[in-house]
Amino acid sequence: MKLRLLLVALALMFIVGCGVTGEVVKQEEVYTIGAVMPMSGANSDSYGVRVWRGVQIAQDEINSNGGINGKRLEIIMEDSMAQPKEAIKAFQSLAARGVSAVISDVTVNSLYIAPFAEQSQIPIFTPGSAVPHLRYAGDFTFRAKVAGDVEAFKIAEKSVSVLNAKKAAVIVKNSDYGVGLGDAFVKKFEELGGEIIAYEKFETGDHDFRTYLLKIKSGDPDVMFFVSHSEEGGLIVKQARELGIDVPFMINPSSWGPEVYQIAGEAAEGIYSFYEFDMESDNPKTKRFREKYIEIAGKEPTIHPYLAYDIVYIYAGLLEQCGEDPVCIKNGLYGVDHEGSSGRLRFDHNGDVIRDESDFILKVFRDGEFVDA
């Protein structure tokens, strides 16, 4: 009886492994990487759905052009739910499935994932997570976006050199990210001889910013720098203008999204935003991605989808060289010099992106779009 069952089992195994002609069915060969993104929870559209769309555009292009070494690129996505614990669980799930690299959460959650990436020796590469101290998170952590403190330094410099500001007000989300940028702006603005007349920190879930804004108004600033999610930013701008605060606003690109304009309306006119590359340039790669994204989404991409798209191509190049060897991929990232949709990307010894000074531009929102300031 046991022999008969064994023969049946062997026959079934043979049938599963063969086609009707008797030929062995060959499994599709793939290279597999992972992605951790907030596809649900707070700001999931801005920091999850839009970014994943950029990833998918790159993946589809690569696979449509023959894949990598003849293998299809597979990207397994896990939802971080915009929560640190869930982000860690998502990364651990990907590590258990044997991925060789991960496109990491654009939020501060990458900071929480980083120790587990180091322990697993699997590189993580984020298209955002501008929190300054991510640069010290470990040898396996990389960031395609300029760190927030670098952005804030440059915004402070432009506030002085372009707007001739002597007094500034700052209002930021009370988080590692928001306070990191706020502190950096204050430091640089004061170094340049300016005065900070107010430094306000709001909490997640705040919708009424008038108490903070009335303090700011009483100090009569020349410029106001804020760091927020786009929905919060729209409310800050709208309420500030309603209170008669008519000074220029300075923001970093992560604080901008179409929601700012949708909520603030005409009050959004005159917002200045600092960019690490020109998303509307005629660079063929930038233009191609922008047009494809608009075709799919029906709206302009924000900064993170560009960077996510470029990360996929960078990983693809390293998979071609390294195969699915995560340590080789990590080592290769330090030597990358990539021309992508977001311009030239190179990385320093901390895994932070290196940008040429000429990449940085200041734009102002006029008549429904950002134009050169």
**Could you tell me how many residues make up the chain?**
373
3-state secondary structure of 220: coil
Q: Is the pLDDT of residue 104 over 50?
A: yes
Q: Scanning the structure block, which residue is given the tokens 């008669």?
A: 244
d(CA 175, CA 43) in angstroms, rounded, equals 15
DSSP secondary structure letter of residue 174: S
Confidence tier at 73 by pLDDT (50, 70, 90): very high
* Under 8 Å between Cβ of 148 and 131: yes
DSSP secondary structure letter of residue 125: E
* Under 8 Å between Cβ of 223 and 247: yes
* Under 8 Å between Cβ of 252 and 225: no
Q: What's the pLDDT score for residue 21? A: 40
Range of weakest confidence among 304-313, 330-339, 362-371:
362-371
- Across the range 295-310, mean pLDDT stands at 95
Q: What tens digit of pLDDT does each residue of 114-130 get?
A: 999 999 999 999 999 98
The pTM of this model reads 0.87
Tokens (6 digits) for 209? 């910013």
- Across the range 154-176, mean pLDDT stands at 95
Summary mean pLDDT of the chain: 91
Confidence tier at 258 by pLDDT (50, 70, 90): confident
Q: What tens digit of pLDDT does each residue of 345-372 get?
A: 999 999 999 999 889 999 999 988 888 8
CA angle 49, 251, 133 (to 5 degrees): 75
Strands 249-251 and 272-275: parallel
3-state secondary structure of 126: strand
Q: Is the pLDDT of residue 16 over 50?
A: no
Q: Is the pLDDT of residue 224 over 70?
A: yes
Confidence tier at 243 by pLDDT (50, 70, 90): very high
Rg (CA), the chain: 24
Half-sphere exposure of 372 (CA within 13 A, CB side): 6
Closest C-alpha to 153, from 190, 122, 125: 190
Q: Chain centroid to CA 160: how far?
A: 28
Q: Long-range contacts for 182-185 (Cβ within 8 Å, ≥24 apart)?
A: 182/152, 182/225, 182/227, 183/149, 184/132, 184/148, 184/149, 184/150, 184/151, 184/152, 184/153, 184/156, 185/152, 185/153, 185/155, 185/156, 185/225
Q: What's the pLDDT score for residue 26? A: 42
Domains in the chain, CATH or no CATH each: 42-146+302-355 (3.40.50.2300), 149-275 (3.40.50.2300)
Q: Chain centroid to CA 81: how far?
A: 15
d(CA 213, CA 59) in angstroms, rounded, equals 44
d(CA 125, CA 114) in angstroms, rounded, equals 10
d(CA 214, CA 211) in angstroms, rounded, equals 5
Q: What's the pLDDT score for residue 27? A: 52
d(CA 23, CA 28) in angstroms, rounded, equals 15
Using CA atoms, how far residue 346 sits from 106, 304, 342, 357, in Å, is 19, 17, 12, 13
Tokens (6 digits) for 252? 């970093």
